[in-house]
Amino acid sequence: MAKEFDIVVYGASGFTGRLVAEYLGKIGHKSFAMAGRSESKLAEVREELGLDVPLVVADSDDDAAVKRMVDSANTVVTLVGPYQLYGEKLLKACIEGGANYTDLCGEPAWMAAKVREAHEAAKASGARIVFSCGFDSIPSDLGVLHLQNKVKEATGSPAERVKLLVRKMKGTFSGGTAASFKATMAAAFQDPQVLADLKNPFSLCPDFKGPRQPNPNEVRYDEEEDTWLAPFVMASINTKNVHRTNYLMGHSYGESLVYDEMVMTGPGERVRRRPTISPTISR
């Protein structure tokens, strides 16, 4: 049965949702709607963008409205986070209705819980659930995929060690990112499993335990690149997504993949180890 819309952009009146709606309009997508909880705000953004698309009103706490929105779409793109607070009912409706779901989630513990709870149900209904489709974590995920394809073409086997080193980046924390971090920390204090999922690099790969991974919180020197490396703020989620992609592809990168992400900070000063000199006593 054909759906009314190919794509519904949920949270289209927010900063990121507005960008998504603007892009779909720019490329001339013919079947999308802008959705959110405030019709007046949606109408205002639609007018500012010069779009002529339908509006769908749905509050994340309104089961019936969320179901109607999901039933109208092939794919729901949601920009309404933190997802552990506002995504539960929407994700459930998509799985039950067989609609595709994608978000900007950078909340790995919540994602791990949903993978454990809903993976088989989503397979059964035909719903495709794709988390983290933004800066979390498309550059990492597709970058590693492209690299591994090239390595396999050249050598016949995947690379067992992959590093992503960030030279520079622009941007800052959004209100949504800060809210997601706050919600995750609050959950971690209440549930030990949340903390365990945050620490486990393979928490999105049920029943799989891979090799020891580099410590993402240390500062270290990279001899190959002649630079100091510092922790990368997105690494805790991006690395988990890379390992999940590998897992879902039957470990196309191999089961022994070691992967990390760090920020390059330059050569700086290095402390060289000096040989230990044993003290002597003159007679």
Q: How would you write the pLDDT of the chain (283 residues) with one tens digit per residue?
A: 689 999 999 999 999 999 999 999 999 999 999 999 999 999 999 999 999 999 999 999 999 999 999 999 999 999 999 999 999 999 999 999 999 999 999 999 999 999 999 999 999 999 999 999 987 689 999 999 999 999 999 999 999 999 999 998 776 555 566 566 666 666 666 777 888 999 999 999 999 999 999 999 999 999 999 999 999 989 999 999 999 999 999 999 999 999 999 999 998 776 544 444 434 333 2
**For residue 13, which phi and psi values (nearest 5 degrees)?**
-90, -5
pLDDT given for residue 276 in this prediction? 43
Dist CA 45 CA 279 (whole Å):
76
pLDDT given for residue 135 in this prediction? 76
Burial class for 238, CB neighbours closer than 10 Å (0-12, 13-18, 19+): buried
Shortest CA distance to 253 belongs to which of 108, 134, 141? 141
Strand, helix or coil for residue 172:
coil
Dist CA 106 CA 136 (whole Å):
6
Report the 10 Å Cβ neighbour count for 9.
31
Decide if 232 contacts 270 (C-beta within 8 A).
no
Q: How many helices (H) and strands (E) does the chain have?
A: 10, 10
CATH 3.40.50.720 segments of the chain: 5-130
Helices 235-248 and 138-155 meet at what angle, rounded to 10? 50
pLDDT given for residue 178 in this prediction? 58
pLDDT given for residue 281 in this prediction? 36
Q: Domain 5-130 maps to which CATH number in 3.40.50.2300, 3.40.50.720, 3.30.70.20, 3.40.630.10?
A: 3.40.50.720
Dist CA 202 CA 210 (whole Å):
7
